[in-house]
Structure 1
Amino acid sequence: MNNTQAVSFLDATLRKVYPQDFEYRQLAEERLEQLTMPRWALGDLLDLAVDLAGMTRSLRPPVARKKVVIMVGDHGVTAEGVSKYPPEVTAQMVRNFVRGGAGINALARQAGAGVCVVDVGARDDFADLVREGAIMAKKIGHGTANMVYGPAMTRTHAVMAVEAGIEVANALAAEVDVLGAGEMGIGNTTPSTAIAAVFTGRKVAELTGRGTGIDDIQLANKIAVIEKALTRNKPNAKDGLDVLAKVGGFEIGAIAGLILGAAAHRKPVIVDGFISTAGAMIASSLEPFVRDYLICAHRSAEPGHGALLDALRLRPLLDLNLRLGEGSGAALAMNVVEAAVAILTEMATFAEAGVAGPR
């Protein structure tokens, strides 16, 4: 596939993204106003129900079929000592996901959700897992380049990463109602922080967190590494693909594509934590209406996450001091999404209950 075809495929997806349906939002609000409880007593849960009606054009939003998609990619910047763990852990965790032994597997099972692992940029080829159909193979490269010395990837590869995520969304659209965006990639809080700095204009030191649990010396190094990468590459905040190419990651681009593809199919997509929200920021820079299909699972312990949420005008459903990644928060939030739909579809109205309405 040449670059012209890739861009035209991306553009075709962007043209399919529309705002939420105002009529269904209005109908949902009217019903929720009449429920047998004080007005809007369930607060954000009711706001979520209205959003789901607008996203899906339905007063009975389909949410039963759920899947967490874990995009996987490695990062050349790990050579700078920005993570507590070596890059080999990425491949180890992929195999743990496949075995069903990771945190996301337990949380997904509890939520009744499936887990789909997609290799878009890991160092390992996972030939056996691909052969067995245990993971989806959408590899763009064997990890990004070290962004301290130049762009993390070419612009063509950035487009291909987004395109890969769209392809995953298209492949799952017929069998999934709600998508959760997760990730795995040692070192990926570093490019996510760089992305946050570009789009928010805030200082790197304010946005940089401890990721896998680095100490003060490592944190100072991580801040310096991000600042060097931004100075060297000068990503353009008005061009999301430029930002992705210069300081992003393959899995971050694929998350952006997953979000764009989900929105094109009018599917809600639950964004997990910091890295997934960096992907959402890239997606929003390409098509602002994707925000209408985003559900923020939780507020991460990473300081850069809050800055991105503010930029995207997203309110997290949960605040549990999570920092695992993998889509863990998205799996937890799927329970909240189902609860919102249950309120919209199952609670009696004052009229149905034969009592006086709210005053």
Structure 2
Amino acid sequence: MFNVQPLSKQFESEFWSEINNKTKPLGALGQLETLAIQVLNIQSEIHGKLIKPVQINYPHLLVFAGDHGIADYGVSIAPSAVTGQMVNNFAANGAAINVFSKQLGWQLDVIDTGILQPINSISIRRQRLGCGTKPFHIEPAMSHTIMEQGFVFAKALVHEKFNEGCDLIAFGEMGIGNTSSASAIMSAIMELPAVESVGSGTGIDQATLLKKQQLIQQALDHHRIPKENVLDILATYGGFEIVQICGAMLAAAERKIPIVVDGFICTAAAMIAKLIDPNVQDYFIFAHSSGEQGHDKMLQWFDAKPLLNLDMRLGEGTGAALCLPLIQSALAFYNEMASFEQANVVNVVSDI
């Protein structure tokens, strides 16, 4: 369903040459330099030539919301009804992601992938796969047919945004119980016990944490899915929002759009996406190291170095949203910073 091409990186040596001749010591801008190179590689792949200036003109952030059957079994401090309440808050522009998107210049869409009760609002896009998933410690969260429909929805949405001019994309999520899904996905792929992947989520107490770990371990023991069976893992443990985020990541990479990967939930979707098509990682920009237990191990699995570490664990795409100025700064220095020759500054590095 997806066909992601690896980056050829045909102009990467030219990009590095130009960056290394800017008026600075070699490597002095750290991760901004490698970030610039990554976006430059993607942009040059689209155009088939060196281009300048390289800019982000239409960044888009998609927040996918869905409910989870396992939430009814005591894995969160909040009931499933809070998912819908928060979606209403998104529609009213009252959530953190609304504030950050407005402040920083993201175009924002909120997608109902299957919350318990549909919301009648022109601000909410409907791509519903049901009224919440099944409790995955008892039975698979969804069928393969439903999962595949989620991929269809996600691909169509990303292609729509691409046709509108989207040149940077990020994803957020909302769903009570979705850290349970992400933990189960992580454990299944990395072959880890639940105690190593399950964290406190929204801030649960010790008794609830133990209950959450027990239920997820029960699910892992019950289903026993080999790590190679990635679509089975997604259908069994995933949420409707995680399925559509995964599909949207693959669709964005297929269209050669850089992808900003948010925290724990979105990184679980990214793990699935990479196992479906390893080339997708060429397009991943890892936003931040979440405060959720297990996220650092996920990032190590990708051999990824995130841009930020702010102990955030809100979700919604908030960590990804905050990275837009860093990406813009990486491109700005490439576009505008003078070379040693232009500035009439002695290139001490070259003279050594």
Counterpart pick for 1:71 among 58, 64, 71: 64
Secondary structure of the corresponding residue to residue 95 of structure 1: helix
Show structure 1 runs of 5+ residues with no match.
1-9
Cα distance, 1:40 vs structure 2: 1.1
Query: Aligned letter for 2:126?
Result: A
| Higher mean C-alpha displacement, 190-199 vs 306-315 | 306-315
CA distance in 1, matches of 2:300, 2:53: 30
- Is contact 1:53–1:59 with CA below 8 Å preserved after alignment? no
Other-structure match for 2:48: none
CA distance in 1, matches of 2:217, 2:249: 28
Identity of aligned residues (%): 36
CA deviations 1:63-114 (Å, max 9, x no partner) are: 1211210011100001110011000011111111111110011111121112
Secondary structure of the corresponding residue to residue 294 of structure 2: helix
1:102 and 2:95 aligned: yes
Cα distance, 1:222 vs structure 2: 0.4
Query: Aligned letter for 1:116?
Result: D
Other-structure match for 1:211: 201
CA distance in 1, matches of 2:129, 2:319: 27
- Is contact 1:230–1:247 with CA below 8 Å preserved after alignment? no
Cα distance, 1:142 vs structure 2: 1.0
- Is contact 1:72–1:118 with CA below 8 Å preserved after alignment? yes
CA deviations 1:138-196 (Å, max 9, x no partner) are: 11111100001110111111222222222211110122111111001011000100011
CA deviations 1:227-261 (Å, max 9, x no partner) are: 01111122231122111111111110111111111
> Runs of 4+ in structure 1 displaced over 6 angstroms?
none
Other-structure match for 1:321: 311
Cα distance, 1:24 vs structure 2: 2.7
Query: Aligned letter for 2:204?
Result: I
Task: Give TM-score scaled by structure 2 length.
Answer: 0.94
Map 1:44-83 onto structure 2 (within 5 A): 44-57=31-44, 58-83=51-76
Cα distance, 1:202 vs structure 2: 2.1
Between the two proteins, the alignment pairs up a number of residues equal to 342
Show structure 2 runs of 5+ residues with no match.
45-50
Q: CA RMSD in A?
A: 1.2
Map 1:233-248 onto structure 2 (within 5 A): 233-248=223-238
Cα distance, 1:59 vs structure 2: 4.9
Other-structure match for 2:141: 152
Task: Give TM-score scaled by structure 1 length.
Answer: 0.93
Structure 1 residues 59, 292: CA separation in 2 closer, same or farther (over 3 Å shift)? farther
Query: Aligned letter for 1:274?
Result: F
Other-structure match for 1:122: 115
Other-structure match for 1:35: 22
Map 1:228-267 onto structure 2 (within 5 A): 228-267=218-257
Query: Aligned letter for 1:105?
Result: N
CA distance in 2, matches of 1:298, 1:38: 26
Other-structure match for 1:187: 177
CA distance in 2, matches of 1:336, 1:202: 34
CA distance in 2, matches of 1:356, 1:19: 38
Cα distance, 1:313 vs structure 2: 2.0
Other-structure match for 1:23: 10
Other-structure match for 1:310: 300
CA distance in 2, matches of 1:164, 1:306: 30
